[in-house]
Amino acid sequence: EAGVAQSPRYKIIEKRQSVAFWCNPISGHATLYWYQQILGQGPKLLIQFQNNGVVDDSQLPKDRFSAERLKGVDSTLKIQPAKLEDSAVYLCASSLDSGGYNEQFFGPGTRLTVL
Amino acid sequence: GNSVTQMEGPVTLSEEAFLTINCTYTATGYPSLFWYVQYPGEGLQLLLKATKADDKGSNKGFEATYRKETTSFHLEKGSVQVSDSAVYFCALSKETSGSRLTFGEGTQLTVNP
């Protein structure tokens, strides 16, 4: 079974530029998560989708971050404009569902460096 | 709100040494508790979990027991190997929070031959 795919793996941009990350979850997984992992810290949830609807985006900086999950499959996370403090690894995870506990499977992440 | 606190790292051990990584949590009700591992260059992987008090999760020689009275979920292994070198994250999840994971800061473990 294929795992969670993410691209690109690495991205370097200058502040005030925009950037987008892509995630393809495991086939059949209804729930998709985006986490931000700053160096030396644990991952922090940015947004959670159930199919193509948003379940939780309370920690998403909506003035600069946006995410969508069209057709309930792939998802993109965008930052516009980027700030220095956005340098982090962006992790995508998926699970069968969000009810009870369903194991979350993580992708390899996209490492963003903002100069 | 929910939070997870892990022992400060990094931790450096010799092969075959005993490992303990402390984890305590703050949450209302009965969260599920997890240990995730991140090997160099790889994504996060679930190592073990426990979903109710007094449950013991185990995998690959690692164990952790859900202690509600002390709000703890310490990770242990009796004899570590060089291949166990990785970053270990303690995390909790509550169904009322949509099953999102709240992570601790992670503990870097290095095992020397």
Looking at residue B97, what DSSP letter applies? G
What is the arithmetic mean of pLDDT over B71-87? 97
What is the arithmetic mean of pLDDT over A84-98? 92
* B43 interaction partners in chain A (CB closer than 8 Å): 3-4, 91, 106-109
Helix (H) or strand (E) holding B65: strand B62-65
pLDDT at B65 over 90: yes
pLDDT at A27 over 90: yes
Q: Which of B44, B46, B100 is the closest to A45 by Cβ?
A: B100
Q: Is the Cα dihedral B59, A24, A111, A15 positive or negative?
A: negative
What is the arithmetic mean of pLDDT over B84-109? 88
What is the arithmetic mean of pLDDT over A34-40? 94
Dump pLDDT digits (tens) for A94-106.
998 766 567 889 9
Q: How far is A64 from chain B (nearest CA, A)?
A: 22
Residues in chain B: 113
Element counts in chain B: helices (H) and strands (E): 0, 12
Give me the pLDDT at residue A100, please: 58
